[in-house]
Structure 1
Amino acid sequence: MQTPQKPTSSPQGKKLLDQYKEAIRLKQYSPRTEKTYVEWIRQYILFHNKRHPKEMAASEVKQFITHLVVDRKASASTQNQVISAILFLYRNVLHIELDQTDLGFIRPKRGKRVPTVLSKNEAKAIIQNMIPPYKLMVQIMYGSGLRLMECLRLRIKDIDFENHRILVYDGKGGDDRQTPLPDSIIPALREHLAKTRAIHEKDLAHGRGSVHMPYALAKKFPNADKSWIWQYVFPATTFFTDKEDGVMRRHHIHETALQRTIKQAATLAKIEKRVTPHTFRHSFATHLLQAGYDIRTVQELLGHKDVKTTMIYTHVLQRGANAVKSPLD
């Protein structure tokens, strides 16, 4: 895809997209959100032949959104994401408040979706067809309800063996929470961490062993990036060079590797459902509700801000006041 030139518009000479990134970081949005938003702004500028956004208004925004929906068949969630990215640009960087009534559209509402849920036997069958360390990662997502990136970003300090819990820091929405550590995986997890520690000590012996530190902790704790407790639970097999400081580091396993492995395992287990990493989080929540745990407890374990989000799992329960038995049965 052709990349548009980055226009400038700051008295200090900063390029527009640099200003945009800075504004996003001030709001403490996640790096993934930053990357996605920046790419949508690039496409918005490119669509209008590299015109500066300050020269455009609601009509140009509408044209771009219409193009995405009509020509590229963008979903409602994608449409909402693009609208948010563009409105953020005008409000927080250009300091222009677009009148959304002039845009000729409203944010589309996503239809209700019933999540794909595995039975306990199906979940176990998929796990049995996986190899380490992916098997252990799926066991954590299913047994603790973690999101994909929450699992990948786990660090040694986040595993609390004594209290049988996993601490999730800076989850979706920026909140921290704790969730149970399954007793059944503790021996395998300890064995995995012993191997991981051996890799880390070997890295240190070769003058490496550094890991990316979140926020400004690298400055606050200069040597923490090489300490054991800050290392990833599931480190990658190769190194990468950090663009920010040029240091060669070992990152966590890439999400696509786990996604691909889960798909292969589901095929081997002959599960005729669309299985993704998030399916195990859905199954975690549903099985807890089926076991009789109250929805507020499940909400807290999942890290949902609104109980309405957790309520989607009640639609797949086969019990309770809303359970309906087919007249054919």
Structure 2
Amino acid sequence: MASQLLQRVREEIRRRNYSYRTEKAYIRWITRFVKFHKLTHPEKMGKEEVMEYLNWLANERNVAASTQNQALCAIVFLYKQVMEKKLGQFDNLTRAKESNHLPVVLSRYEARKIIGLMNGDAQLMVELLYGSGLRQSECLRLRVKDIDFEFNQLWIRNGKGNKDRTTVLPQKSKQKLKEQIEKVKVLHKKDLNNGYGSIILPKALSKKYPKLNKALGWQYLFPTNKISTDPRSGLKQRYHRSSSYLHKAIKEAVQKTDILKKVSSHTFRHSFATHLLNDGYDIRTVQELLGHKDVKTTMVYTHVIKNKGSVVQSPIDS
């Protein structure tokens, strides 16, 4: 496929202010789609070829429903937004099966035990995953200005669905967060003295307030140890910690325990929701804190509670 088409895709994604993560995902899916059809240019393909690829993902690759849907979104974006070509309805599309798995949830003791075995940025980040119910990406992208100590809340900007929301700020983490902000302040001052200190802002803000990109409030709360080059703008900046950094820290902490559950960063978010419901908070409140669009998504945690501590007595115990 001509690289010019991929470049047009990138330009259109950036014009719409989509995240770099979305850009990479869309480029990967479009490339895979073209390779599946033996490098045939998308201009020479249409709805039938798209359906063939998506059905192959569901039937042969057994991908999750969310994976198939992401592929669909990427390809539809290519045809509709970049090539200005309508594909129509996918009436005969084989939909990948939705997962019916219940989320893995830690007990309060297990969550605190894992967090207690961590240190530094990773420990504070996991405290927020569990104490505030954040998604991993939301935690990584937190900026200094998103911490509201007066109202005891965290601001989540451009979360899933490109929506803002607030969630609870754990009292346990307040002092650590104040110390973290002081560290960022010292590091930012050092960067400014070395000719750096700029940060990528949403396009509208960067045009309206050209000097805002060097303000302390817009710096990432959990910055990396080194300056790197932004792949889009070419600007040298201090980005936020990576997901692999957090994943590695959690894995190492879990390995020091006797916990046999499969634990990831999202496990702490699941535990946050389940424990709030256990404490008697209503499901609408938990839905808002988690940022779920539909309460049905939040309802899965009520099933976790129901399955925990069954009232049915096993025959072997009677």
Aligned-pair CA distance for 1:246? 2.7
Q: What is the distance in 2 between the residues matched to 1:26 and 1:212?
A: 15
Question: Secondary structure at 2:167's aligned position in 1?
Answer: strand
Aligned-pair CA distance for 1:89? 2.4
Q: What is the distance in 2 between the residues matched to 1:323 and 1:30?
A: 44
1:219-234 superposed matches below 5 A = 219-234=207-222
Question: Secondary structure at 1:178's aligned position in 2?
Answer: strand
Aligned-pair CA distance for 1:153? 0.7
Compared CA separation, residues 270 and 205, structure 1 to 2 (3 A): same
Matched, 1:160 2:157: no
Residue aligning to 2:63: 74
Aligned-pair CA distance for 1:99? 4.2
Which residue, 67, 72, 90 being the options, matches 1:100? Answer: 90
Asked if structure 1 preserves the Cα contact closer than 8 Å seen for 2:6 and 2:27, the reply is yes
Aligned-pair CA distance for 1:307? 0.4
1:18-167 superposed matches below 5 A = 18-25=7-14, 28-69=17-58, 72-94=61-83, 95-101=85-91, 104-167=92-155
Asked if structure 2 preserves the Cα contact closer than 8 Å seen for 1:5 and 1:50, the reply is no
Paired letter, 1:17: L
Paired letter, 1:184: K
Asked if structure 1 preserves the Cα contact closer than 8 Å seen for 2:197 and 2:238, the reply is yes
Compared CA separation, residues 325 and 26, structure 1 to 2 (3 A): farther
Deviation digits for residues 133-185 of structure 1 (CA, Å, limit 9, x no counterpart): 10000001110111101111111110011111111111111111111111111
Asked if structure 2 preserves the Cα contact closer than 8 Å seen for 1:100 and 1:106, the reply is no
Residue aligning to 2:273: 285
Question: Secondary structure at 2:63's aligned position in 1?
Answer: coil
Asked if structure 2 preserves the Cα contact closer than 8 Å seen for 1:317 and 1:323, the reply is no
Asked if structure 1 preserves the Cα contact closer than 8 Å seen for 2:47 and 2:87, the reply is no
How many positions carry a matched residue from both structures?
Answer: 315
Q: What is the distance in 1 between the residues matched to 2:14 and 2:233?
A: 18
Compared CA separation, residues 54 and 109, structure 1 to 2 (3 A): same
Question: Secondary structure at 2:226's aligned position in 1?
Answer: strand
Aligned-pair CA distance for 1:219? 1.9
Paired letter, 1:301: L
Question: Secondary structure at 1:166's aligned position in 2?
Answer: strand
What are structure 2's unaligned runs of at least 5 residues?
none
More divergent stretch after superposition (30-39 vs 182-191):
30-39
1:290-309 superposed matches below 5 A = 290-309=278-297
Identity %: 47
Deviation digits for residues 246-267 of structure 1 (CA, Å, limit 9, x no counterpart): 3210000011100111111111
Question: Secondary structure at 1:167's aligned position in 2?
Answer: strand
> RMSD of the alignment, in Å?
2.2
